[in-house]
Amino acid sequence: KQEVTQIPAALSVPEGENLVLNCSFTDSAIYNLQWFRQDPGKGLTSLLLIQSSQREQTSGRLNASLDKSSGRSTLYIAASQPGDSATYLCAVSDYKLSFGAGTTVTVRA
Amino acid sequence: DVKVTQSSRYLVKRTGEKVFLECVQDMDHENMFWYRQDPGLGLRLIYFSYDVKMKEKGDIPEGYSVSREKKERFSLILESASTNQTSMYLCASSRTQGIGNQPQHFGDGTRLSIL
């Protein structure tokens, strides 16, 4: 059974600092890894999807890397802003998604 | 943009009632999913469907059933609601081309309380 772990569970940084969020998974036989953002009381917004054959994906200030062999992914958010405050979830797909518990980020103005 | 719409944001029902949660997507996606999200447990898959009238059990199907009569609509049914089914329910959809290869798009969720 796939186990997905996100460390840290919570993170607080001043505005402008770069964010580094970690995700690890136990079974490397995955199709892809997806990073989501969730605002309080809301659904999930897809941020980035990395196929198993890729090493990284970029979208604006966001960059996600994938090391399938070691079972790790990292989401980098450059020059953080208060609007980046949210919970970030990673999920790995081996035909269905298995989610981590998330990292709750607070960016202080 | 993909739009996944869940019929209710908040719902309060009584123990023993039959409860219907509805989800509609507007992008002609083949695959649809129902999850529940609980503090400390994260998101867990209840059921999914890869085609009309097709359904597959997820990790926690007990106490639930689903219906997919039309491609755009996927319903989650609580046959006899119990207090341990109080939760946030999230619907998602995705294209096929290998069910694991496409991003899933989520609705805003339904916060269900069973009293």
Question: Rounded distance, CA B109 to CA B112, Å?
Answer: 9
Chain B residues near residue A37 by CB distance under 8 angstroms: none
Structure tokens that stand for A100 in this block:
């981590």
Substitution target in B21, B30, B106 with the highest count of A β-carbons within 10 Å is B106
Confidence band of B98 (pLDDT split at 50, 70, 90): low
Q: Which of B60, B67, B111, B51 is nearest to B87 (CA)?
A: B111
What is d(CA B34, CA B90) in angstroms, rounded to the nearest whole number? 6
Model pLDDT, residue B100: 55
A97 and A49 Cβ atoms separated by less than 8 Å: no
- A47: pLDDT strictly greater than 70: yes
Query: Are B4 and B106 a contacting pair, CB within 8 Å?
Result: yes
Which member of A30, A97, A100 has the closest CB to residue B104?
Answer: A97
Q: Quick check: B35 pLDDT over 70?
A: yes
Task: Answer whether B106 sits within 8 Å of A89, measured CB to CB.
Answer: no
Mean residue pLDDT across chain A = 94
Helix or strand or coil: residue A14?
strand
